[in-house]
Structure 1
Amino acid sequence: MGGGREVTYDIDGLTMVGYMSRPAGGGPWPAVLLGHDGVGLDDYQRGRADDLAEHGYLTFAMDYHGGRTFFGEPQAMLDRLLPLMADPARMLTIGQAALDVLLAEPGADHHQIATLGYGGGGRIVLELARTGVPFKALAVIHPGLPTPRAEDWTNACGTFLLCTGSEDPICTPAHISTFSNALQEAGVDWRAHIYGGAKHAFWAAPTRPDGTPTGGADHLSPTVPGVGYHAAHSARAWRAVLDLFGERIGLPSPAC
């Protein structure tokens, strides 16, 4: 693999510290924009960017917290996140700045773009999709979801994958169902995965303060309610993302 590096860029009054991971060899490569969850851009999502690069996708993991993470600080995270999630124009500006960084990278194929978002990052990439950014594929894992109105999604391109856990109190299966109904009415190509027994952020393995895994499902640091790790579903969701990208990259995008 070509390896990853930090990329700084200024938006939303902050200096963001994103992570670019390039495949080995020469491009052009399909380009993937990755949005982290509300805690911040961590080693897991950098690892997802590296994994995507190993599969041949030039991947940029955006930052929307100015290089900060909020492990063990749920209230500070919410103080940053909730005003952002209430402001679609601000989310769109943040997402577009990150997309610009990705597409400015040498080797990025501007005709083969996909995106992956977790939590709040899922909401940001959905805002981009709503404006008609020509994503071939869009995968969101327990995303923040907008008001489900079909008229907002008539310009959306590509195939959507919506994932959440059956026990997620923040992005519930009912939320996914209602949102997918709006996508259906708008003519968007979509699919949904509900993972039985999984909670919010089911992919995030708990760690000790030194970064080593606890080996359990429960987090030792304070979190928002309803968070829990599920190893089997974490792996299944990742395979679903790779399957979607493998299916759609290189093909015409539905509705575009």
Structure 2
Amino acid sequence: MVNQATTPEITTREISYTDTKGQTLIGYLAYPEGENNLPAVLVCPEWWGRNEYIEKRARELAGHGYAAFAIDMYGDKKIAEDAKTANAYMSATFDAPDIIVDRATAALNTLSAQPEVNAAKIAAIGFCYGGKVALDLARSGADIQAVATFHANLSTQTPAQTGHFNAEVLVSHGHDDSMVSLEDVDHFKQEMENAKIAYQVDIYPNAKHGFTNPASDENARKNGVDLGYNPLAEAESFDRMYALLDRILK
């Protein structure tokens, strides 16, 4: 553990851990100062990596009474500043079928082992690529109680199986998302129905891919990709996420 920092209300620290291949991963834990036995949330990042945006989301969760762990999916807390690099980093995690679940499971085990955390009350949330990470972790049979995704990649090569998926699911999706189509959403709904999983899908009008990230408009301009920030969809989707987490974990 390195780089511990404390504010009057929230404590944060970086935690180094490894996947089963020996890759070093560095996560960022935030939790209410002086609290223990906390419900906890894995925070799975966009394809940009474990950057300040994801750390900010972890601190917000801590402010709501959770221990939140912003996870590292690329190793050595690498982050991307442009879409080409982000795509290369993300694509590398698809090179073998088990990399995403392996690294997400390593993060879950690390979070569960923290002294502040109640290991029986853990959820996962994810943004874009991180939504796939959270869902694939649940699809693997991991012991997590809830998953919430935002403008997520919903595709999978290993569909959820009845009795092997322990989480209730909330999907927040933008109607104008050109990267994940409404047809993709329908396929995901069918997956959930087939596996008899409790789920809800909310479609937000006038919302594009990346609608929760205030940097999306600038990222779109710099990289020539179809992203867009929508503060109304952001606020409503987060209200629904917190309602889910509070109901399931508290």
**TM-score interval for Structure 1 and Structure 2 normalised by the shorter chain:** 0.7 to 0.9
**Among candidates 68, 74, 80, match of residue 59 of structure 1:** 68
Specify whether residues 86 and 69 from structure 1 end up closer, same or farther in structure 2 by C-alpha distance, changes over 3 A only. Answer: same
How far residue 172 of structure 1 moved from its aligned partner, in angstroms, is: 2.2
Alignment partner, residue 226 of structure 1:
226
Aligned to 2:91: 82
d(CA) in 2 for partners of 1:26 and 1:96? 24
Say which SS state the counterpart of residue 232 (structure 1) adopts.
helix
Q: Which of the residues 4, 18, 25 maps onto 1:16?
A: 25
What TM-score comes out, normalization by structure 2 length? 0.87
Residue 3 of structure 1 is matched in structure 2 by: 11
- Asked if 2 retains the 8 angstrom alpha-carbon contact of 1:88 and 1:127, the reply is no
Query: Using the alignment, how far apart are the partners of 2:219 and 2:136 within structure 1?
Result: 30
Runs of 4+ in structure 1 over 6 Å off: none
Runs (5+) with no aligned partner, structure 1? 208-216, 251-256
What is the Cα deviation at residue 189 of structure 1? 0.1
CA shift at 1:98, angstroms? 0.8
1:227 counterpart letter in structure 2: L
Report the counterpart of residue 79 of structure 2 in structure 1.
69
Identity of aligned residues (%): 26
Call closer, same or farther: CA 1:244–1:148 in 2, change over 3 Å.
farther
Residues 117 and 140 in structure 1, CA contact (< 8 A), matched pair in contact too: yes
- Contact 1:19-1:61 at 8 Å conserved across structures: yes
Matched letter for residue 56 of structure 1: G
Separation in 1, partners of 2:238, 2:74: 24
Q: Distance in 2 between matches of 1:151 and 1:234?
A: 27
Deviations 1:25-47 (A, max 9, x none): 33101111110010111222111
Offset of residue 14 of structure 1? 4.1
Counterpart-to-counterpart distance in 1, 2:220 and 2:154: 28
Cα distance change on mapping 1:147 and 1:101 into 2, 3 Å:
closer
Structure 2 letter corresponding to 1:97: A
Q: Deviations over 1:177-214 (max 9, x none)?
A: 2111111121100001111111111112138xxxxxxx
Q: Secondary structure at the match of 1:135?
A: coil
Q: Does 1:246 align with 2:223?
A: no
Aligned partners of 2:157, 2:200: CA distance in 1, in Å?
16
For the 8 Å contact 1:137–1:248, the answer to whether it is kept is yes
Aligned mates of 1:219, 1:18 — CA distance in 2: 24
SS in 2 for 1:155: coil
